[in-house]
Structure 1
Amino acid sequence: MSGLRAAGGVAKKSAKKAAGGFSGIEFHKSKGQHILKNPLVVQSIVDKAGVKSTDVVLEIGPGTGNLTMKLLERAKKVIAVELDPRMVLELTRRVQGTPYQNQLQIIHMDVMKADLPYFDICVANIPYQISSPLTFKLLAHRPSFRAAVIMYQHEFAMRLVAKPGEGMYCRLAVNTQLLARVHHLLKVGKNNFRPPPKVDSSVVRIEPRNPPPPINFLEWDGLVRLCFGRKNKTLGAIFRQGNTLALLEQNYQMAAALHKAADGGQVDLVAAVNALAMADGKPDAAADDDGSGSDEEMGEEEEGGKGGGGGSARRRRGKASEGFKEQILEVLQRSGYIEKRAAKMSQDDFLALLAAFNAGGIHFT
């Protein structure tokens, strides 16, 4: 009997290994390593991604390869970007001697530092702490891809897909939905991972708008950032703040020089979005990556505590002239947005508001 038990144990271990088991590998929660272990969820993600036999698939954070193996069954090629050398070794071992060996390319480095190659579809179960910068890095990628199917922390995913008037609607939603169509696909409970994270997850499909909207994205984000600093206040109240007006007047005075070389106010989208993703002013505050920051907290940098232009550095710029204040309020009044609140404004509203300000020579950079 003991021999039969031993043989049975060996058989179970072999089966687990063949199925992409994780024996001998310790996962680090601090690095965001939560391996998706439920085969039904894995299959559902592959199905919803709509992978074609001619597709090159970019997978970010393949881990032990449970999702990778399913993608290899469907795709022409899979490019897996993995930072952990142990996972790279495990992934290499799994495809060695299989028909998929020549279909898999592994890039061993930090995805945020990688120059990503061409791909048709991105599928990713990512470390949640890079959710925001990675999303915008992908949206800045050229040539544009067909879709990205990404596993996010559930609350972050809800922010991505939120609509005007909903509680989760925020600057992240506005910026993302300007550049892409975003759909929530499925919620994934924490027990579907090993080790289980502290929060539930959700899978989101992102389809970039191609071509992207012909606007200066840095200026767009400047306006949206300001409006969402206090998203439940009226725009009239926000734009009456002294520090905000002082900053805008400075931009107004420099507008001709700043925009003369920008071909009608447009800038390169790739450069703009990359700058937003990687700089201190990246789209959405770091707190948003784990869902812990409120929109009001995200706006403190811009509002400077009491509302206005973001602390002592901006306060030193002085006060705006009364004439400029009247000019700002006239634009808001004429465009019909003076009593509007960012929390309930749509993409079209923000586009119309930006156009109204720009027509009056007022820019957000």
Structure 2
Amino acid sequence: MPRATSDKFVRAHQPSAKSKSKASSEASSSSGVRNPIFNTERFGQHILQNPKIAEEIVQKAGLRPTDKVLEVGPGTGNLTQYMLAQAKHVTAVEMDPRMAAEVTKRVQGKPEQRKLEIIIGDFVKATLPYFDVCISNTPYQISSPLIFRLLSHRPLFRVAILMFQKEFALRLVAKPGSDAWSRLSANVQLYAEVNIAMDVGRNNFRPPPKVESTVIRLVPRDPPPPVEFGEFDGLARIVFGRRNKTVHANFMAKGVMEMLESNWKTWASVNDMIVEDNINFKKKVEEVLEESGFSQSRAAKMDINDLLNLLSAFHNAGIHFA
């Protein structure tokens, strides 16, 4: 993945005289907003333009002088400048080379230049360096991939301050029994503590998004629970398939039994167990549900401990979800 911290990169992305003239004309008609020529919505990104809000978001991270920070989607660097003033080093991952060039120009010739590295490319595919803190004005389309990429990163980071659409953020912090409690809520809260840090109105962005935004604070559980994510998510995928239906009904849904039986036979083969040809696998699953006490439970009201206990009951019977 290319790093964009050199003079060569900056020169390569300097606009032509014609482009400068056009940008100048557009800038004069945009009430002084920085760099109106960028079509940020192309990458689902909305530039935070309120400096007070930007500074407050960075303050939520409680940065230390020794911290290495990972920023996702720096845009034109409005958050980046506050990170550079407080942290030891900032690595920013940006999809748009024009944005990366803009951030680079903002620190060109300043002491902060030595503290900044920019990775141009897709955050989901990029090789990430070590970092203590992650701060992100998250592009809409990578909200969920970003969360799980961070939670799977090792070594664990200390804290992440992440801005999402408000609806998505509310799902992250939802509790069992609430309308927003979902598979996403359970998966994230299994591996991290999540809470709301602040709300950010749409008028603080350029261009203004159609939805409100919310900043969340995410702290990984250290040590992480000894649960394979694929197994937990596989179970959650089934029980949250229809969150207000009973667990038994969801397991009886089309295709579920066939998938579980295939997994069970594979597990038995790997562990040198003999599988009887005439075994009633459906009955085996129903027995697990009944004995665990969750047959008539509904995912909408099951907490993480309930899900873990149900997963353990299936594992004891040799039934797996990944």
For this structure pair, what is the TM-score category when the shorter chain's length is used for normalisation?
0.7 to 0.9
Map of 1:62 onto structure 2: 74
Letter in 1 for 2:85: E
1:328 is matched with which residue: 267, 272, 285? 285
Aligned 8 A contact 2:45 2:140 in 1: no
Aligned residue runs from structure 1 range 1-365, under 5 A = 22-23=34-35, 25-241=37-253, 243-258=255-270, 323-365=280-322
Residue deviations 1:210-250 (CA, integer Å, cap 9, x gap): 22211222121111100011111111222234632232222
Q: Distance in 2 between matches of 1:41 and 1:362?
A: 49
- CA root-mean-square deviation: 2.1
Aligned 8 A contact 1:183 1:206 in 2 = yes
Distance in 1 separating the partners of 2:253 and 2:147: 32
Q: Which amino acid aligns with 1:345?
A: M
Task: Give structure 1 stretches of 5+ with no counterpart.
Answer: 1-12, 261-319
- Judge which range, 241-250 or 71-80, deviates more: 241-250
Matched-pair contact (CA < 8 Å) for 2:263–2:321:
yes
Could you tell me how far apart the structure 2 residues matched to 1:257 and 1:25 are? 60
Contact 1:27-1:34 at 8 Å conserved across structures: no
TM-score under structure 2 normalisation? 0.85
CA contact 2:196–2:216 (8 Å) conserved in 1: yes
Measure how far apart 1:38 and its partner are.
1.1
* Structure 1 CA distance for aligned equivalents of residues 237 and 76 of structure 2: 39
User: Do the aligned residues in 2 keep the contact of 1:124 with 1:149 (CA within 8 Å)?
Assistant: yes
Render the CA deviation track for 1:83-122: whole Å, top value 9, x for unaligned.
2122122111111122212111111222122100000000
Taking structure 1 as the reference length, the TM-score comes to: 0.75
SS of 1:66's partner is: coil
Deviation larger for 141-150 or 247-256: 247-256
Q: CA deviation at 1:69?
A: 0.6
Dislocated runs of 4+, deviation >6 Å: none
Q: Taking every aligned residue pair, what percent have the same amino acid on both sides?
A: 53
Q: Relative to 1, partners in 2 of residues 1:85 and 1:323: Cα closer, same or farther, differing over 3 Å?
A: closer
Structure 2 unmatched ranges of 5 or more:
1-27
Counterpart of 1:312? Answer: none
Whole-angstrom distance in 2 between the partners of 1:325 and 1:24: 60
**How many residues end up aligned between the 2 structures?**
290
